[in-house]
């Protein structure tokens, strides 16, 4: 009995000892865990290891707490890429541009100047020679009436002076051609505000003359003169016309009023463009119209409607007729019909560098009684030049 009790006591003592030892181990581990420092956050100095980061903006996301993990995580929202600002072109000044483009005119009109000088500088000018002079001038589209005037003047000079010296003849030819081109005509383009409204320019012409391109180039000419310009895309029959015009304007920071509908009423678009120009207080509104065949009465009537609708809110200060200089006498027929429909005030001759028929300048001015105001001398964006009579004549005879 005593032996059994002894064994019981020993067993209890062993169990108690084991329990006590286990408890001491657990307490020691707990103290060890409490002394462990949290892992350092990348980029923070040592003194900030135990410091909570300040509360951030609304993009702070709380993370579940875990031993050794930071209490909060800062999430940076990605920054959207910024589109680069479009670079606007600054066109060169149009002043004196025709002087700079004289070489192109000289190349294209060399048959007039060189041919005439070769004929007139002969030692003897008989009737056959004078007939050749007439033929050369008529073939340049100068027109019969203007040709007779020029030949009569040259005949008189040669007879009175009794010389055919080339330098002298060149001087006579320059004087007479310049007189035919009429340098005293007013070639200014309406481009300044009139009272409390912008100047309004209506651009007309047949298909294929480069009319929409001319409108875009004209906008560049006016921007170069520090004018605020607004374009109206009233050519609603050609699908790409409005896009083309808008592209031209965007290159120099000029807005375009257009319709989102196919085959929209061109008169309505023109009306909206002028209205917008008045509200935005621009200097000039340029209206592009659909290319029209001069022998189609219905189309010409519609052009007249565009003019009448615009005039309900503003006068039209300028009507520019765009002609292809290479069409010659056929272009003269166009001028007459267009002038009856919309009172043309000025001519734009395109492709003048591509023809040897520079006499069309004289012929078209006589046909309409209005000046050539602009000439196209190439396909570049700044190849539209204000017409300069002296530079034009010099390019022919010099």
Q: Is 312 marked as a binding-site residue?
A: no
180 to 27, 121, 240, 332: CA distances (angstroms): 118, 21, 40, 17
Q: Is 292 marked as a binding-site residue?
A: yes
Q: Is 208 marked as a binding-site residue?
A: yes
256, β-bridge pairs: 231
Q: Is 209 marked as a binding-site residue?
A: yes
Compute the distance between CA of residue 228 and CA of residue 211 in angstroms, rounded to an integer.
21
134 to 60, 162, 180: CA distances (angstroms): 91, 20, 15
Q: Is 290 marked as a binding-site residue?
A: yes
Q: Is 327 marked as a binding-site residue?
A: no
Of the candidates 324, 326, 329, which has an alpha carbon nearest to the alpha carbon of residue 347?
324
43 token code pair: 């980029």
Instruction: For the beta carbon of residue 325, count every other beta carbon within 10 angstroms.
Output: 27
Are 313 and 275 spatial neighbours (Cβ–Cβ below 8 Å)? Answer: yes
**Position of tokens 């006499």?**
359
Helix, strand, coil in percent for the chain, rounding step 5: 50, 15, 40
Q: Is 397 marked as a binding-site residue?
A: no
Of the candidates 307, 278, 312, 273, which has an alpha carbon nearest to the alpha carbon of residue 194?
278
For 205, the enclosing helix (H) or strand (E) is strand 199-205
Of the candidates 291, 203, 278, 212, which has an alpha carbon nearest to the alpha carbon of residue 245?
212
Q: Is 353 marked as a binding-site residue?
A: yes
Q: How many residues does the chain have?
A: 398
Compute the distance between CA of residue 278 and CA of residue 299 in angstroms, rounded to an integer.
28
Are 50 and 36 spatial neighbours (Cβ–Cβ below 8 Å)? Answer: no
3-state secondary structure of 67: coil
Compute the distance between CA of residue 125 and CA of residue 156 in angstroms, rounded to an integer.
12
Q: Is 210 marked as a binding-site residue?
A: yes
Q: Is 206 marked as a binding-site residue?
A: yes
The DSSP line for 14-49 is HHHHHHHHHHHHHHHHHHHHHHPPPPPPTT--GGGT
Q: Is 32 marked as a binding-site residue?
A: no
Of the candidates 222, 244, 221, 217, which has an alpha carbon nearest to the alpha carbon of residue 233?
244
For 97, the enclosing helix (H) or strand (E) is helix 97-100
* Cβ-based burial of 238 (10 A; exposed 0-12, middle 13-18, buried ≥19): middle
Known binding-site residues equal: 205-212, 288-292, 350-353
Known binding-site residues for GTP equal: 205-212, 288-292, 350-353
């Amino acid at each position: 009995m005593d032996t059994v009790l002894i064994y019981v006591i020993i067993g209890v003592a062993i169990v108690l000892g084991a329990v006590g030892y286990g408890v001491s181990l657990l307490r020691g581990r707990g103290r060890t865990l409490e002394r462990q420092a949290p892992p350092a956050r990348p980029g923070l100095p040592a003194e900030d290891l135990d410091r909570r980061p300040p509360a951030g903006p609304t993009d702070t996301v709380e993370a579940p707490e875990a031993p050794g993990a930071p209490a909060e995580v800062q999430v940076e929202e990605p920054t959207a890429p910024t589109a680069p600002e479009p670079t606007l072109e600054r066109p060169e000044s149009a002043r004196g541009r025709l002087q700079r483009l004289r070489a192109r005119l000289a190349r294209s009109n060399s048959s007039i100047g060189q041919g005439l000088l070769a004929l007139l500088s002969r030692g003897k000018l008989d009737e056959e020679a004078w007939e050749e002079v007439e033929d050369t001038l008529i073939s340049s589209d100068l027109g019969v009436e203007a040709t007779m005037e020029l030949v009569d003047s040259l005949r008189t000079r040669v007879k009175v002076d009794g010389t055919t010296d080339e330098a002298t003849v060149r001087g006579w030819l320059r004087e007479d051609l310049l007189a035919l081109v009429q340098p005293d005509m007013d070639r200014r383009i309406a481009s300044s505000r009139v009272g409390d409204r912008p100047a309004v320019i209506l651009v007309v012409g047949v298909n294929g003359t480069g009319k929409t391109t001319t409108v875009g180039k004209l906008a560049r000419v006016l921007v170069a003169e520090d004018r605020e310009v607004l374009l109206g895309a009233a050519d609603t029959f050609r699908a790409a016309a409005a896009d083309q015009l808008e592209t031209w304007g965007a290159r120099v920071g000029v807005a375009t009023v257009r319709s989102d509908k196919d085959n929209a009423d061109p008169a309505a678009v023109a009306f909206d463009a002028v209205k917008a120009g008045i509200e935005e207080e621009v200097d000039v509104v340029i209206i592009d119209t659909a290319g029209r065949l001069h022998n189609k009465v219905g189309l010409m009537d519609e052009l007249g409607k565009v003019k009448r609708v615009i005039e309900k809110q503003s006068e039209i200060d300028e009507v520019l007729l765009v002609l292809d200089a290479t069409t010659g006498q056929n272009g003269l027929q166009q001028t007459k019909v267009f002038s009856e429909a919309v009172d043309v005030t000025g001519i734009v001759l395109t492709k003048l560098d591509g023809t040897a028929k520079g006499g069309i300048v004289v012929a078209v001015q006589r046909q309409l009684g209005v000046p050539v105001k602009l000439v196209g001398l190439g396909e570049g964006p700044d190849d539209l030049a204000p017409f300069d009579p002296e530079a034009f004549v010099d390019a022919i005879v010099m």
